Amino acid sequence: MCGIVGMVFKNPFSARDALTSLKRLEYRGYDSFGIADSNGRIQKFVGEIDETKAGDRLVNTTITHTRWATHGNVTEANAHPHTDCTGSIAIVHNGIISNFSEIREEMKAEGHRFASETDSELIAHFFEGKNIADSIPPFFAKFKGEYAVLLIKKGEDAIYAFKRGSPLVLGIAQDGYVLASDIYAFSDRTGNAVFFNEDEFAVVGKNGYEFYKVNGKLEPSEKQVTAFKWMAEETKKDYEHYMMKEIKEIPEASRRLLDSLEAEQRESVESIVSLVRNAKRIVFVASGSSYHASLLGIQFLRRAGVEAHAIVASEFKNFTLIDENTLVVAVSQSGETMDVIEALHGIKARGVKIASLVNVPYSTVQRMSHSHINICAGQEVAVAATKTFVNQVLAMAYIASLLGYAMDMRSVTGVFNSVFAQEARIKDVAKTLATARDIYVLGRGFSYPVAREIALKLKEITYIHAEGMMAGELKHGTLSLIEQGTPVICLAPKGDNDIMSTAHEVAGRGANVIMFSDEARGGIKIDSTGKVSFSVMAAMAGQLLTYYIAREKGLPIDKPRNLAKSVTVK
């Protein structure tokens, strides 16, 4: 989940520019950051990226890193880059070395001295005193886990790059090259990229690059340059936080998606519809908010007469059986979610078709798919999924509508502003919930996945324990936790009398009931044109409620503790 950027240019550039490119990847981790150059200088800092820390010095080759801590606490010593014993080799690493303890003990016995608690430092020590290219096959044979690594040697204007599992891409700029975890690091510089495949190694110098396949030895690999387009918003504009900006972008993002599905992505849509029709069953694989969107997706498809299931990516191999009659639909905002990628590994070779819904073009998940849809949400910087969640839901509903689920997609986008009209009321409710210890969110049918999504947002951003659950399950245990003043949010689409009965039941036990319904009823009014519309509007209201609770508590809304936007480790 860390972000790495390496730059090598024909002409000297400011080290500050390198950190500016790294800043674009800060959503991948923001515990600490660092920079190393080919002159041998290394700087490391705890906290969010501050470009000014690099000073005004000029460099030709540099590697940088922004960290989401896995091995070792958040300290300056554990920040990247890391070096070997001599200081002649510096590396940055995204991923996890799974046999870290074993290798560390071996290296200690060989006399290596370690300056950090990290698994990453071992990589620098492995290459100490060795020819880098010659040592790549033995490295891949010895080091288990996932890694994208950038390595430089003092006095050389070249970057050695290699990957297994974790994402890595080369950007081809006008006068040099940028290596990074994803294209957003250099999308302001160039629209041309070369994507690393699994087990590949590259040597990138200021005058060119060479790629090799690592297969027990190095084999030259021919690579294609891909032209890409990536729409990104880099500033918060007039908003205090990216999260609010991105919530307010939902109407525009949803209209952009629907226009795209009906025009430039029409062929991709038809391909996925055909894959669904030819499959015996559909299995969604996703994590976090994307999983909750998938829980809605299977309801849409089932109402179109399609057998559909959703599996949490990290448990995919334990909970599902797939064969050549199965269509697996991978759902991932970044397209680099490691749990999703792990689930997809190997199934293509078994004749299983893969479709995907992603937000980042040319991502690993997209490139593993037979067919894909870009959800067109644009760059989402805040950790919380907001417009990406809504667009995932709308993309799934659109596919279901083409398979027989009767609904008017455009009617959904027509009532977005009704949620924003409730903003003052949502602020008032947020003030009453800011001191809550626990919040329960109840839903049924279509509103159940939304209940889980709202609860996730509350946990992520407000640090309040929240549980989203099926309302019918409340009486099978959780009801014992309801006491005087316990906040319970009830999602009540029009005509859902069962959820109203549940609301009365918890109110009778002293709960502070907050209704999300078509009537005010002392809660938050949700205008909708149907169940899909209610699900989307209730999710948006939950996003706003979460935002204002966190703001009331003075929390770091865009960068909550311990989390990162793109989860690229298992």
| Predicted confidence (pLDDT) per residue in 389-404, tens digit | 999 999 999 999 999 9
Tally the C-alpha atoms within 13 A of residue 479's C-alpha that lie toward its C-beta: 16
Helix, strand counts (H, E) of the chain: 18, 25
Q: What is the mean pLDDT of residues 258-284?
A: 96
Least confident residue range of 364-368, 554-558, 563-567: 563-567
In the structure, what pLDDT confidence band is assigned to residue 253 with cuts at 50, 70 and 90?
Answer: very high
Buried b (16+ CB within 10 A) or exposed e, 155-177: eebbbbbbbbbbbbbbbbeeebb
Question: How much is the average pLDDT of 353-374?
Answer: 91
Span 189-207, average pLDDT: 94
Dihedral of CA 400/401/405/409: which sign? Answer: positive
Residues 12-28, mean pLDDT to the nearest whole number: 89
pLDDT digits (tens, 9 = 90+) for 365-381: 998 899 999 999 988 88
Whether 235 shows a pLDDT value over 80: the answer reads no
Catalytic (active site) residue 23: no
Which residue matches tokens 């071996």?
Answer: 106
Would you say 5 and 180 are in contact if contact means Cβ atoms under 8 Å apart?
A: yes
pLDDT band per the 50, 70, 90 thresholds, residue 469: very high
Report the alpha-carbon distance of residue 238 to residue 248 in Å, rounded: 12
Pick 496 or 78 by higher pLDDT. Answer: 78
Asked about 565 being catalytic, the answer comes back as yes
Paired sense of beta strands 438-443 and 200-205, if any = unpaired
How buried is 348 (Cβ within 10 angstroms: 0-12 exposed, 13-18 middle, 19+ buried)?
A: middle
Q: What is the pLDDT of residues 51-84, one digit of tens each?
A: 888 888 899 999 999 987 776 788 989 999 999 9
- E-state strands within 407-463: 438-443
Give the Cα separation of 487 and 29 in Å (integer).
32
Choosing from 2, 44, 153, 531, the catalytic residue is: 2
Q: Which of 108, 225, 252, 127 is nearest to 171 (CA)?
A: 225
Active-site choice (248, 531, 565, 570) = 565
Task: Give the pLDDT confidence of 112-160 residue by residue, as tens digits.
Answer: 999 999 999 999 999 999 999 999 999 999 999 989 999 999 999 999 9
What was the pLDDT predicted at 351? Answer: 81
What pairing do the DSSP bridges indicate for beta strands 465-470 and 512-517?
unpaired
**Domains parsed from the chain with CATH numbers:** 3-227 (3.60.20.10), 234-414 (3.40.50.10490), 420-530+541-555 (3.40.50.10490)
Q: Residues 427-468: pLDDT tens digits?
A: 999 999 999 999 999 999 999 999 999 999 999 999 999 999
Write out pLDDT tens, residues 399-432.
Answer: 999 999 988 777 787 788 889 999 999 999 999 9
